[in-house]
Amino acid sequence: MKLKYKILLLFATVSLVVLLIIGGPVSYRLKNERLKSIYQGLQGRLIDINFVVTSFFTDIERDLDGIVANPYVRSKNDDGFTSFIDTDASSFEYHIGELEKKIIDVFSRYRNSHDHVNSVYMGRKNGSFVRSHKRNRPTRYDPRDRPWYQLGRNNPGEILRTEPYSSVTSTDVNIGVVTTLLDHDGSVYGVVGIDVTLDNLTRYIEKIRVGRNGYLILLDADGTILAARDKSMVFQNIDAICKDNLNNLFANKKGTISFSKDNHKHYLIFSHSPVLDWKIAFVIPSKEIEHEVGVLIIQVLIVLTISLFLLSVITIVGLEYFVVKPLSKLNESTQIIASTGELDHQIQIPAGDEIGNLATSFNHMIRDLKLHIEKLTETTASKEKIESELRIAHDIQMDLLPNVFPPFPDRTDFDIFAEIEPAKHVGGDLYDFFFIDDDHLFFVIGDVSDKGVPAALFMARTKALINLTAKSHYSPDKIMEVVNRELNINNDSMMFVTVFCGVLTMKTGEVWYTNAGHNPPLIVRSEGGAAFLKQTGDTALGFETNLTFKKTCVILNPGDILLMYTDGVTEAFDKNNTAFSKERLMEEVNFHSRESIKKMVLGILKRVKTFSGEEPQSDDITLLGIKYFGSSPKELI
C-alpha cells in the first residue's frame, strides 16, 4: 500500500475514533440541554396560561362585584321573589314581580354576553331564589342548603370559589364564584353567584396544544381534573391516568414527572397557580420529545462528520503535496541513479524544508560523485590517481556519516561513539544518529549486501530514506516498513540491506528497536555481564515490498551500554580461516565494560585487526556504541 493511502486510512481511522469518542458525550449533552430547553419553554407557556386562567376567574370576580353593586340586586325587599322551597312540579307557575324581572334582566344580560358563564343566580335569606334563566324542572329547591350559599354565608364579604359540583337543575358540573349581600350591620341577607361550567372551561383549554399529541389539563388542589381536551377525563382524579411520582406533583410548585399510559411513557410538566391553588400541566408523549432531540443529535453528528471529513481531506491533500510527492520524487531519483548510474540526474525539489534540504544535499553528493568518477575514468591509466579518487569518494561517503565526537558535547545523559572501516575505499556499511526531539535519540546501523560503489550508492539511498522517514515516524517498525517499501521500487539490482534501528527515550532509558535481519547487538549492564539482545525476527530490507516489522523494548539503566556492529566484526578471519566470532566479541566487550564507550569501540577494533593479522579485510567493519547515564552524574558511572 502506498504511503498516501496509509495516511488516508490512518486519518479515516482517527476521524472515526474521534467521532465515536465525542459522539456519545455530545449526544448526551445535547439531549439534556434540549430537554432542559423544552422544559423551560413549556414552563414559560404554563406561566402565560396560568395568567390567562387566573385572569379568567379574576374577571368573573370583578364582574360579580359589579353585579352585587347593582341597586336592584342589593334590594332587601324580597317578599315577592320566586321560591322553590315547597314547589310541586305538576302545578308550579312562575309569578315574577317587577323587581325580580329587573334583577333577572341584569343576570341574563351578563350571562348572554359571556359564553363561559352557565348561570347567574342569587339566594336570599328567606329561601327565595332568582336566576338568569328559568329552571328546566321547577322541583323543590332551597338555596340555603346548597354548598355555594353556605360557603358565602360562612365567609361574609369575601369572593370565593366553590369546589366543582353537579348542578341540581342540569347535568353540568359547575364551579361557582360567590359573594354575599351584607346589611349595614354586617349581617348576610343573600348570596350572589356566577357559575362557570367545566365544559366551557374545557373548550378554552382544548385550544391549547403542545407538539402533535400533547395537551393541557387543569387540576384542583385535590388532583381532580377540571378541564382537559378529552372530556372523558373531566372530573376524574389524576391518579386515574398517572399513578407514578404523584408525591412530586403535589409537593412541588413546578417540575416534571414521568408516567406510563397505554404502555407508552409520558411526561407531565406542571406549574402551580398560587391565586387559584390549582395545578396547570402539559401531558406530552416522551417519543415526541425524544424524536425532536434525536433529529437534533443526527444533525449535529452529520455536521461533525462532514467537518472531520473535510479536515481529513485538507490534511491528506497537504501531506500529498508537501510530503508524499517530494518523497516519491526523491525516491524515484535515487532509483534512477542507483539502477542506471546516471549521475547527471538532478532531483528537482525546492529547498526550504527537510525534504528540500535533503534533495539539495543529495544533488551535491551526486554531483561530487560524478566529478570524482569522471576523474577516475579519465585517469584509469594511473593506478595511483585512481586510488586517490577512490580515497576522495571514501571521504565523501564518510562525510555522509556522523564523524565528529562527541557529537552533542552539552549532553551529559549519554555518550556515543562510532567507527567504520570499509573493506574497499567505499563500502556499504552505514550508521547514523540524531535527536528526533529533545528527549528521543534515533540511531541506526546497517550493512548493504554488496561492496564498492553500488553498495555505497545503495547505502546513501538507504540512509537518506531512513533519515527522512525517522523524522516523521517515532516507531522503528513503521520506519522500516516505509523504507523497505521505497527500496523495493525498481530494485533491479536485487540489493538488500540489514538494519538495526531504535529510539532511546533519554528520561527513562527505554529503547524501542527493530532488527531487520541484522546482527543482534550486545547490551552490557552496569552491574556486569553482557548479553545479546532478543531478535525481532524480521527480514532485511529490499527482499519483498509489503513486509511488516515488529518492535521490541529494552530498558537501559544508568551505566548500561548498547553496542551495535556489522558482520565484518564477527566474520573477520585470521590466516587459518578462523572467524573472530560472537564469543570473542563478547569476551572483548566484557574486558572493556568499565571503560568509556570510545575506548571500548577502539579497543574492539584493535583486537579484530590484531586477530586478522596480515589477512586482507573481507568485509566492511562498523561499530556503534551508546552508553546511557540518564540523570546520574556521568563521572560517577
Give strand pairing partners of 174.
165, 197
Tell me, what CATH number does 462's domain have?
3.60.40.10
Q: What is the pLDDT of residue 51?
A: 80
Pairing of strands 165-166, 160-161: unpaired
Give yes or no: residues 421 and 389 share one domain: no
Which parts of the chain sit beneath pLDDT 50?
636
Residue 272 lies in a domain: no
> The whole model's pTM is what?
0.43
What's the gap between Cα 242 and its chain centre? 38
**Which grid cell sits at 9?**
486510512
Give yes or no: residues 442 and 349 share one domain: no
Q: What is the pLDDT of residue 200?
A: 61
Residue 127 lies in a domain: yes
**Which grid cell sits at 578?**
578462523
| Closest listed residue to residue 489, CA positions, set 334, 320, 343 | 334
Give yes or no: residues 445 and 526 share one domain: yes
Query: How many domains does the chain fold into?
Result: 3
Give yes or no: residues 412 and 544 share one domain: yes
Burial (Cβ within 10 Å: 0-12, 13-18, ≥19) of residue 495: buried
Tell which phi-psi region holds residue 616, choosing left (phi > 0), alpha (psi between -120 and 50) or beta: beta
DSSP tag of 141? B
Give yes or no: residues 584 and 612 share one domain: yes
Q: What is the pLDDT of residue 8?
A: 63
Give yes or no: residues 160 and 83 share one domain: yes
Give yes or no: residues 377 and 486 share one domain: no
Residue 252 lies in a domain: no
Pairing of strands 621-628, 414-421: antiparallel
Q: Using H for helix, E for strand and C for coil, what is the string for 248-289?
A: HHHHCCEEEEEEEECCEEEEEEEEEECCCCEEEEEEEEHHHH
Residue 288 lies in a domain: no
Give yes or no: residues 372 and 410 share one domain: no
Look at residue 548 and give its three-state secondary structure.
coil
Q: What is the pLDDT of residue 90?
A: 63
Residue 244 lies in a domain: no
**Which grid cell sits at 343?**
549521475
- Report whether 77 contacts 125 (CB < 8 A): no
Q: Give the neighbor-by-neighbor strand order of the sheet with 561-565.
A: 414-421, 621-628, 561-565, 522-524, 530-532
Q: Evaluate the CA torsion angle 586, 591, 596, 598 in order and state its sign.
A: negative
Site of grid cell 546520574: 632
Q: What is the pLDDT of residue 525?
A: 95
Burial 373-402 (b: 16+ CB within 10 A, else e): beebeeeeeeeeebebbbebbbebbeebbb
Residue 193 lies in a domain: yes
Question: What is the chain's Cα-based Rg?
Answer: 50
User: Angle 329-335-338 (CA atoms, 0-180°, nearest 5)?
Assistant: 140
Residue 282 lies in a domain: no
Print the domain residue range for 376. Answer: 341-400
DSSP readout, 34-73? HHHHHHHHHHHHHHHHHHHHHHHHHHHHHHHHHHHTSHHH
Residues 219-232: tens digit of each pLDDT: 888 888 877 777 77
Give yes or no: residues 449 and 585 share one domain: yes
Give yes or no: residues 395 and 408 share one domain: no
Give yes or no: residues 391 and 438 share one domain: no
| Closest listed residue to residue 431, CA positions, set 444, 442, 420, 414 | 444
Q: How far apart are CA 416 and CA 350, in angstroms?
A: 34
> Which of 167, 200, 233 is a domain's end point?
200
DSSP tag of 539? P
> Which of 156, 178, 200 is a domain's end point?
200
Burial 119-153 (b: 16+ CB within 10 A, else e): bbbbbbbebbbbbbeebeebeebbbeebebbbbbb
- Report whether 187 contacts 71 (CB < 8 A): no
**Which grid cell sits at 499?**
538494519
Q: What are phi and psi of 83, to 5 degrees?
A: -125, 140
Q: What is the pLDDT of residue 1?
A: 62
Peptide bond into 406 cis (omega under 30): yes
User: Angle 599-600-604 (CA atoms, 0-180°, nearest 5)?
Assistant: 115
Look at residue 322 and give its three-state secondary structure.
helix
Tell me, what CATH number does 166's domain have?
3.30.450.20
Give yes or no: residues 465 and 506 share one domain: yes
Q: How far apart are CA 604 and CA 622, in angstroms?
A: 11
Q: Which helix (H) or strand (E) holds 216?
A: strand 214-219
> Which of 200, 231, 252 is a domain's end point?
200
Q: How far apart are CA 548 and CA 476, in angstroms?
A: 11
- Report whether 493 contacts 502 (CB < 8 A): no
Look at residue 156 and give its three-state secondary structure.
coil
Which value, to the nearest 10 degrees, does the dihedral of the CA atoms of residues 31, 35, 37, 39 take?
180
Q: What is the pLDDT of residue 623?
A: 97
Residue 188 lies in a domain: yes
User: Angle 244-250-252 (CA atoms, 0-180°, nearest 5)?
Assistant: 105
